[in-house]
Amino acid sequence: MNLFNSALGRNITFVRPAYFIISGFSGIPNIKYYYVFLLFVYIVSVIGNIAVMVLIILDHSLRTPKYVVVFNLALADLFGSCALVPKLLDIFLFNNPQIPYGDCLAFLAVCYTALAVQSLNLVALSYDRLIAIIYPLHYHVKVTHRFMLSLVAFIWAFVIFAVIFNIGLFTRLSICKSVVIRSYFCDHGQMFRLACNDFTPSLVIGVLVTVLFAWFPLVFILCSYLYIGYALSKISSVQERLKALKTCTSHISLVAIYFLPILITFSLMDKIHPNARIINLSLTSVFPAMLNPIIYVLQTQEIRKSMKKLLRIRVQPKITTKKVDIM
């Protein structure tokens, strides 16, 4: 089999492999136990995020601007989990490491889109909390359904454009060093380094995308909470401070779950074993999707009330009335 195909004409030197080989978990001892754990995480993620989405759809009291973003976060989590974990299990558990060139780019696009949308959703939620605490009297004017729907639409459009542009640059590369991707999915950073021609544009865009979808969201969220902390420090009542801060606990938990593993992994990149790094990075991709709905159910009073109300309606026996005609 000819591994490398050049189907772009005689005068064009772009070389595209027939397939890539994903080798991220190869050689890790007892890795099958990790696959069982990933399957458990995937099942919980799917059930939890679908439950949150259904809850928001069914309960009219949750149809507020904030829960537009919560719904979108659950959708992005579900989208990312369904794209990553089944394919990951197919590659490693069922020993199908070869993935066609086009399928690999599609896999890359879906995974990066889900991760970027999740990150920007956390920014939208931090803006919601910032306005709710700093400008409570103007909250319903500044944060409306139309604004949040427009913001969500912009997030998806911007992320999809950035990912497609990034992939477009990648298709201009000649992949001839190797076809082995040392990651657990079609990782853009690993892939463009396999090129023989100049991959500087892909490197620059990769760094820019990392700044836009990782560092900018983190800095914005940290600055918003510094501002919130400063505003709360001016409130004399401790109870009022705690009450306001309590509305942020679920969001703070989501931010910590999403960003802390990434920061720890990359800060210790040279000090941890490559196998441990790959497992840590894979966990950062699948864990938030599982924990996000659990956190919202446990820490958000509106969600808990809505769930109890819907469960009460479902289990409450229907009272049948008998019609009596009075003669």
Tell which wins on pLDDT, 266 or 326. Answer: 266
With vertex at residue 311, the alpha carbon angle to CA 310 and CA 313, rounded to the nearest 5 degrees, is 65
pLDDT band at 327 (very low <50, low <70, confident <90, very high): very low
254's CB contacts (< 8 A; 6+ apart) are 73, 122, 125, 288, 292, 295
Residue 3: what pLDDT? 45
Q: Kindly tell me if the per-residue pLDDT of 43 is higher than 90.
A: yes
Q: Kindly tell me if the per-residue pLDDT of 21 is higher than 70.
A: yes
What's the token pair of residue 27? 């050689």
The count of C-alpha atoms lying within 13 angstroms of the C-alpha of 74, restricted to the half-sphere facing its C-beta, is: 24
Domains present along the chain, CATH in parentheses = 4-309 (1.20.1070.10)
Percent of the chain with pLDDT over 90: 33
81-95, 131-145, 194-208, 306-320: segment of lowest average pLDDT: 306-320
pTM (two decimals): 0.86
Nearest one of 23, 205, 219 to 112, comparing CA atoms? 205
Q: Kindly tell me if the per-residue pLDDT of 178 is higher than 90.
A: no
Residue 270: what pLDDT? 64
Q: Extract the runs of DSSP E, i.e. beta strands, from the chain.
A: 4-5, 16-17, 19-22, 98-100, 180-181
Residue 44: what pLDDT? 93
Q: Kindly tell me if the per-residue pLDDT of 4 is higher than 80.
A: no
Mean pLDDT of the chain: 84
| Structure confidence by residue, pLDDT tens digits, 101-150 | 999 999 999 999 999 999 999 999 999 999 998 888 888 899 999 999 99
Give Cα separations from 7 to 123, 226, 252 (angstroms).
43, 54, 50
pLDDT band at 315 (very low <50, low <70, confident <90, very high): low
Spatial distance between the Cα atoms of 112 and 94, rounded to a whole number of angstroms: 24
Q: What mean pLDDT comes out for the span 246-262?
A: 85
| Structure confidence by residue, pLDDT tens digits, 230-239 | 888 887 778 8
| Structure confidence by residue, pLDDT tens digits, 264-299 | 777 666 677 777 778 888 888 888 899 888 887 766
Residue 313: what pLDDT? 65
pLDDT band at 242 (very low <50, low <70, confident <90, very high): confident
Q: Kindly tell me if the per-residue pLDDT of 161 is higher than 50.
A: yes
| Structure confidence by residue, pLDDT tens digits, 51-82 | 999 988 888 888 889 899 999 999 999 999 99
